[in-house]
Copies of this chain bind each other. A is one copy, B any other.
């Protein structure tokens, strides 16, 4: 493997800011893994781990101005979102510390932007943990190498279907396969009922515009396919969507490769038969892209063929509104969808109240397609909460565990039963007196 340089690139100008790394060799991957393993003994103390997590959150908070500035230069996401992302990261670190304190076991493998890596290493050092506990390697081959390393016992991933599937396959092909928790892509369908469109078509169109253009469309939960009725209610929805999207300013995508993919993706979709673009998405200025959307008769999506392209995720500020004539067309399109992170239904007040049976029927129909079902909301915005499930049927994710919220801890656990083990040799978590005061299931009943 050549030691190819890794550059920080300003997506607003396309200019290289600085060389930040070189792609890792197999030997370097091995070193990073060995260094991570060396951190294991220091992590054996649960209190140390919780303190480390809280300490990391504190140092990230302190470094906020520098981190947001550097991240903005590198991603063009803007200070508002980046400040929010940083706050969210700190909140999650503290939430996990609480979970560790509450008693669950934690094995942490986190991918972080380069700029924060040294901060986390400092937090580790502050608590006597070898800094190899957090490592960063660059390069596509390095990723495959990492997932294949004999000391790696599990992997988490967020990215494209192509890259994620390659890593999933590598994890499964190992002599000793390991769990691979990958998040590979999601279309996030929205179904607007006839009655909902009649009742509040304008409002739904405006909400959709806000959700699909949020963060220049760069959210894994961006609504990418909307089933809306033919007729007056649906027309009002499209009109309101048209007005709101037309008013959206051009934005900068994460990097130029994504911009190229977006421009090529929307061009290919625009060329399909019976596809219209009330607002044409595409290249904006030299480094920006413009938001837009397509409309297509839903019947076109029910039969396979070239229109299947519209059922694939297109990262960036674009969505597809498929106009249906009856509920059978909704069913026909939904049956052709791959797995999703989210599925959303927009209902009328009668449907939402259960007065009309259509609401419940539609929820039952979309539930098998997604890990999160929303009613009258928008999927962008993923609450960090115990009940959250950020995952879904393949390719949304490759495992059933969530990557957001407290139960994400389950990704990194392996159960062990201790049988007829004398009290003094048991881990304190399992001793009769429950010295740590943990919630436990004892003889089949919850105890706490």
Q: Which A residues fall within an 8 A CB radius of B?
A: 168-169, 172-173, 176-177, 179, 338-339, 352-354, 359-360, 363, 367, 370-377, 385-389, 391, 393-395, 398-402, 406-407, 413-422, 424-425, 439, 441, 443-444, 446, 448
Q: Which residue of B lies closest to A424 (CB)?
A: B354
Interface pair B354/A420, CB less than 8 Å apart: no
Question: How distant is the Cα of A353 from the Cα of B400 in the complex, in angstroms?
Answer: 41
Subset of 25 A-B contacts with CB under 8 Å: A168-B177, A169-B172, A176-B393, A177-B394, A179-B399, A179-B400, A359-B425, A360-B425, A363-B418, A367-B416, A371-B415, A372-B417, A372-B418, A373-B416, A373-B417, A373-B419, A375-B419, A387-B417, A387-B441, A389-B417, A401-B415, A402-B415, A406-B444, A407-B415, A446-B446
- Residues in B whose Cβ lies below 8 Å from that of A399: 179
How many Å lie between the Cα of A387 and that of B418 in the bound state? 9
A233 to chain B, nearest CB (A): 20
Smallest beta-carbon distance A190→chain B, Å: 13
Partner of A422, one of B339, B354, B407, B415: B354
CA distance A422 to B353 in the complex (A): 7
Expressed in whole angstroms, the Cα–Cα distance for A421 and B371 within the complex equals: 14
Contact assessment for B420 and A376 in the assembled complex, using a CB-CB cutoff below 8 Å? yes
Beyond contacts A353-B424, A406-B444: 9 other A-B pairs, Cβ-Cβ < 8 A, are A176-B338, A176-B394, A179-B400, A359-B425, A372-B418, A373-B421, A389-B417, A402-B415, A446-B446
Given contact pairs A424-B353, A446-B439, A388 touches B359 in the complex (Cβ within 8 A) = no
Identical chains in the assembly = 2
| Contact between B417 and A371, CB atoms less than 8 A apart | yes
Expressed in whole angstroms, the minimum distance between the Cβ of A343 and any Cβ of chain B is 10
On whether the beta carbons of B439 and A415 are closer than 8 Å, the reply is no
Nearest CB of B to A191, in Å: 14
- Shortest distance between the CB of A102 and any CB in chain B (Å): 9
Please give me the residue from chain B that is nearest to A361 by CB atom.
B425
**Interface majority SS (helix, strand, loop, mixed), chain A:** loop
List chain B residues, Cβ under 8 A from A425: 352, 354, 359-360, 363, 375
Q: Complex formed: what's the CA distance from A203 to B418 in Å?
A: 22
A415: which B residues are within 8 A, CB to CB? 371, 389, 391, 400-402, 407
**Nearest CB on B from A395, distance (A):** 8
Q: How many whole Å from A409's CB to the nearest CB in chain B? A: 13
Smallest CB-CB A-B distances: 5 pairs? A354-B424, A172-B172, A389-B417, A372-B417, A374-B419
Looking at the assembled complex, report how far the CB atom of A342 sits from the nearest CB atom of chain B, in whole angstroms.
Answer: 8
CB contacts (< 8 Å) of A371 on chain B: these are 414-417
Task: Report the bound CA distance from A181 to B275 in whole Å.
Answer: 44
Query: Are B353 and A416 in contact, with the CB atoms below 8 A?
Result: no
Who on chain B is nearest to A385 by CB? B444
A386 to B443, alpha carbons, bound, how many Å? Answer: 7
**Per a CB cutoff under 8 Å, which of B338, B372, B420, B443 touches A374?**
B420
Q: How far is the CA of A354 from the CA of B427 in the complex (A)?
A: 12
Instruction: Enumerate chain B residues within 8 angstroms of A422, measured Cβ to Cβ.
Output: 352-354, 359, 375
Contact in complex: B417, A375 (CB < 8 Å): no
Chain B residues, Cβ within 8 Å of A388: 417
